[in-house]
Structure 1
Amino acid sequence: MIAQLKSKGLDGDKLVRELGIPAKAAKVDDEEFKYHPDLGISVQGQSGSDAWKEVDRLAKKWRIPVTVEFWWRQNPKAQHPGRTGVLKSAVV
């Protein structure tokens, strides 16, 4: 999703400002952030739920169709352990 925004001309600080999650237009070397050299930004880790909310928001704002297939871990606390699911953000 972030790569799609970059392809629309957003990069560096503009790209970071567009994101509704903590991000920095620099390489950050700590446990909270992951650097993405192809994007030139560092993004803070998110829960699956929070990550999807941001993907959905950006997809609707920028009219980018998104389909995400995910897998619940084999964990007794998971809603559906071991199963897969699909999330879609429709462009309207």
Structure 2
Amino acid sequence: MKNLKFMRRNLIALLLPISSLLYSQTATIDVKIKGWTETLKTSLNAGVAAFAIVGAFLIFVQYMQGNEQAQKNFVRFVIGLAIFGLVDVITHVFIPK
């Protein structure tokens, strides 16, 4: 009987810090997810900007060189930029701040 009381006391002493630890982890996870979403949004913004600048420069160079494929590449570039930009807009609309 004495051993059982000792085990109960130890069990209660062990469970109290664990319960508070679980509560604090929930807040920590929320903070991490918020940080990840901000990183994702920033990365998408940078990706769209880089895609637009580099793609426009390459299309411009093709036009200046008189490449016959430049017009087709321009259409592909605009479609790709529209899709990439749409994904960026969707993440900004549906992922909360």
TM-score under structure 1 normalisation?
A: 0.26
TM-score under structure 2 normalisation?
A: 0.25
Which of 1 and 2 has greater Rg? 2
Structure with more relative contact order (C-alpha pairs < 8 Å, separation 6 or more): 2
Structure with greater proportional helix content: 2
